[in-house]
Structure 1
């Protein structure tokens, strides 16, 4: 008996040892909290700070640590997004002890970083030699996601990104390299390395149109992951692999084509190996065709996705029959990019019954030529099913690597041809372009030489003439006329500081003058910092106050903005545009000198400072002044000028609180007469950017109208346009205010300082014009002239209300006519 007990005890110990070994052999997740010396518990897991000593994770360079207290409640990962590792040079994380297939996720949440503009961040990521990202801009990608999502479908991913990849690690070592773009920087908030369990991506995939593709040796990027017909599924609801499943309605061509359905019955996987494919929550909801009795049997449920050209894609479809308990009740076809991927599909038959989770994978290469991927489900009438219906529970799209690359860099031309399709063709095009460039440069050089020689000859009798010609002098449409500049010194005597260009661009200051005006760029004189550089308060020409904006000499973007600013302001003069006094282009410095605006930015008087709040009348007058400036831009030139960066920090107030538009570094000439838009790269500020412009990359003056609509709501609500610390439905000001305005309840969210101090009728009209400015379709938005007219009418309403007794409030609108307002508007335009 004793021997039996001992034998059983030994057996139990052996079993425990085997179980323990298996547990230890099971790969573990590695979770890194970037830019932190502390570890935090998030979504039930422990994230280790990258500054904590860790034998498995090493960092080759400290970079810069950034942190913020401004984030709150933006997502379940909010504690991770309070810190970031910032890098201006290459930075490596080396992770040891990893072997097999892993999900590698990068958590990226932009927040305000000292001395860095997150909107201009650009970087790449390489993992074990495979390029994952190149020249990636986080804020831009977030804006794109905003633009593509419907207002009702904004979710927790709106203000942060999670870039997810599936990679094979063969040698037990994972090296993650962050590489900033030239003259830029990058950042990361957290890194998540999760082992892939089960047979998630094994074997081969059937190709649309025939054939198979082996997934072995391919890296993958998750492009889309949707819970079709159901709510968003957070990572903690997918405990094995921690995936996020978005709602699908924003990607549907016609949302009403499919109706959501739900079944709370016990659902099981059709195959034992499928347990890691998707959580059961995905299969509990679905979308089925909403009208199965239509006469046109070609009616489909359709989803459209923007994808990167020059890559192949795996489309994974998740199914579970939730309604029918027999076959031939729901038979349909699957189309990918308008080609049949599967026909005669009966989920009940394929999965082996009702409430059985099942998935299909399809490989497609057609999207490499299109930059767009379509998924459609529709009835298969040839199958003779009892009904004409289709069903889908979940959808995933994965990008496959090509030649060790997952980063989208190369773009296709308008004809759809790849730039790398023919290396010889590219070579000859490059040679031809080089020859043409040399010829053009030679012609320009001859022209410049002749021009300089003639100018020197004409001014040979004047000793103090400028010794040479600067290209910048041509801005404004003509050559420069140089003359000696006399400036009084402290002793009253005239001192010679250099030459000035008498052009539309204003005076050309010498660097010595600028140093004197700013006390050698004394930091105590800094009154603002922007993407271009720092702005100093200085005094020029006998004590005239000026705002002196100094660019970073190494900034290529600064050079482009410098040239654009001078080019634009040399031909713009209006009392509601900030005037350019002059510039300095000497010793690699790029400096612009503006009239000084004593009361700073409009934003500083709305929130974020200790300045007294503006009255309702002052806010209206500021908006009207900005509208007048923009109206002049849109109509004052032959083709008009589009500002492209309308926001409250670019609306400045002088000593009398007169508003003027500023910062024309991103401005563009409007479309030519025969065109409707300007095709250009997307530029602007997060929160103000026109979603239509972002989607189509087609710039019109209506893009300024959208941005100005955001400014109007910002003026009345006195809060930031993007505030991640607020609840999800309030983070984006434009969406939040628009919802209240459409309910005609804008007064419930206005700045508390305005309570009881405004005309209700004027606020109502103000909200209406702001709402029109934010129309989804640019063609539905008013012109700036129409916006200006309505704002002046709003001001008239408020002024009449101020002059009336409270008993006569209801008759305010009838106390003056719109004809009078229109006449006033006409008079002001003539005066301008």
Structure 2
């Protein structure tokens, strides 16, 4: 390489020139040194050392730093010095009127500005302060107060582009209140730390152009996340930043696992240094939770962050491939809001393992107040996994009053001086750089590889729900079946713009409307409403679960809509409504005993398929009469999978918080918090009694001993008044043997301990036998049934029960869904469609 340079200029000179210019062009951050100014301890007259910085007291008249305080202010001190309050937060400067700190800026560039607040105990109630903060035309804080943060310090961090000259931070009390601050940091960031432009992601997922003029704005740090790692404090960050773990932001935690890089240091490449993010961020990651014997998770990892609604954010996403064993095999997708995706190819970006890189975006938030990020494998990737190391979200909070949108920091650093010294030889030097770069060994590509692609749906053997490459899907929830998406306009048409006359039911999720699609299909439309008891998790659960199953006795999903923050599920319309509607309190004709048996058999078949079928392993967790629906031929179909969990047959239980509906809730599950498929069996046993006596599982209007249906049955047995629990409208229809068998089934289902209950397949078989007994009037052989008369039908065991209470317990994990069948395509769902009292 040097010999080629000798053709133009002497080797020694060209090499030196090449070296200097190469450094100036490619390693600006490598020569960055941590600044010593400005770090101000407000209200203090001493220098305080904190996390590697010396904070100079602003009351110290002997300080040599170039800053001043203008306006009327007083110093306040912590009145309780015996506390463990850090010294930096034991003093503050308080402003009764508009005042400001003024700093002398000698180098133009991007600056970090941090304002520290702590409402310590003093005669002035600092938590009552109410004020605004601005900085040289940037509006930083509006109507700021610490009323909700009085027990801990609060640091507000901003990135601002500041030119040479005077820079002021203004404190403006609101009304008769006051302002205060405990400490201030104003220091220069590494050169080009924040770009002036980045790909712009609109609410619709469009990224056709860059957003320009970032440097003319103020950026406020909202979230800084160390994915897969621990808390990082200023002591172990290169720019004295705080990073927090991602665990509280991750959706469906079981989809991810943490990974750690055990080498001493990541492999930093050109333009990337430890100042972008510290080593500890790049040495940890979250990756997809895949077991050694096959995937235990087939769904993307998703993080959700609270952000301001309808605002603009600068986002930096950090990657470092610490999980691959070889180069060039791992390629995956990054999704933002699930409607924009970019292909992440670590090898294409860096060319080596454990090499940090990052992507910057400007992202417009929607009106949900939540920003979602997901990662997931690509179909053509050799490795079906994905990873993320870190994430930063900064809100763009204001325009600069003195800096234009095309502002670039003035280059006043040493390498610009070197460039001016070489003067006329600069052009030759640049040519030398270009030639040298061309002759170097292959440099890893740095061109970002953008791709428009749909949200990944990880399934085998079906192309029914695959979207073509180049599609942009506006889905606010990842991993849904995109082939089932229905435009909001189509749903408006089907329901006559959600006409109140079309309402056929109401539950905790929202209203259920009857509708007709343009192709003539009758549908039930369940639309979420703000403040409903159900939400995003149950909405996503129903769709994901039903992408795995299909059965005659499970209600079919026609589609869903999640446009404009709507959560709408569209099902086949069940003409006859709920089983409960036909048992009591509806005025509908009474069902015959034979019809009731057939309905119970159909529901049992659906549950058996759910537990052990080709897509089996699901536990419904909310079986009740309102979640068993009837079509126009009275064919039963199980509904409502919003609370479902996976419970594969080879597992004994799933440990989880208790959810369900009291009266149907398995006491063994309630006691141990260990969910099994036998929990559904218990609930189904309660439904059997409900079918038999045509009354609710819980009726608080009845005398105390009759409130709980199962307990009431035991009392009737003890008192010899069993006839009270049989629906009078069917007493004369029931064959005694059929009734005896039915009571036996209910008794088995309602055993106190799950291990003593039958599987749903056995329940289905016994119900079919009870129907056979009803149809044929065949008496069982003595060895098959020792009962001698029908009055023994409700000889129920003495089942332990628990106090009445609502069992919609706090937020629980979403189910982890498996991919069991190559031939199952998403077309089924479980949800109440005509319910008056459902969730």
Q: Same fold (TM over 0.5)?
A: no
Greater length-normalized contact order (CA 8 Å, ≥ 6 residues apart): 2
Report which of the two structures shows the higher radius of gyration computed on alpha carbons: 2
Higher helix share: 1
What is the TM-score with the length of structure 2 in the denominator? Answer: 0.41
